[in-house]
Amino acid sequence: MVDSLILEVADFEQDVLTGIYSEETGKPQPLRFTITVRMKPARHYAPDTPLNASKNYMDLKFAASEALPPGLHFKLIEAVADHICETLFLQDDRVEAVTVKIVKLAIAENGEKIGMTLTRERR
């Protein structure tokens, strides 16, 4: 069996320029993100193991906030997820796979969760 380390930041919200309809373009939409990263773990984690033996969880949140190009409109939330995956792969060679779940909050009418999930393996 091969070990893996799963890091996750769940259910955080960020406004992103996205959408294809006229009422969506030109203004940010609230999106809810859950980002999961699978990476190669260290052989052992002792109590004094430094942070660089893993990955800072805030890097996951950064990929879906500050790392999104300001002013860029993504027609599809799939493109937002793709950008997040590529950002995380570029940040750290130990990242083996990224899963990005995005829920479009503005279009829910009865509390349903409308969105998508993209899982990308390092190529």
User: Across-strand partners of 8?
Assistant: 36
Structurally, the chain folds into a number of domains equal to 1
Give me the residues of the chain with pLDDT under 50, please: none
**pLDDT value of position 92:** 95
pTM of structure: 0.92
Mean pLDDT for all residues in the chain = 93
Range of the structural domain that residue 83 is part of? 5-43+52-121
**pLDDT value of position 35:** 98
For residue 39, the domain's CATH number is 3.30.1130.10
Question: For residue 120, with 0-12 CB atoms within 10 Å meaning exposed, 13-18 middle and 19 or more buried, which class applies?
Answer: middle
**pLDDT value of position 107:** 84
**Per-residue pLDDT tens digits for 80-99:** 999 999 999 999 999 999 99
**pLDDT value of position 9:** 97
User: Across-strand partners of 34?
Assistant: 101
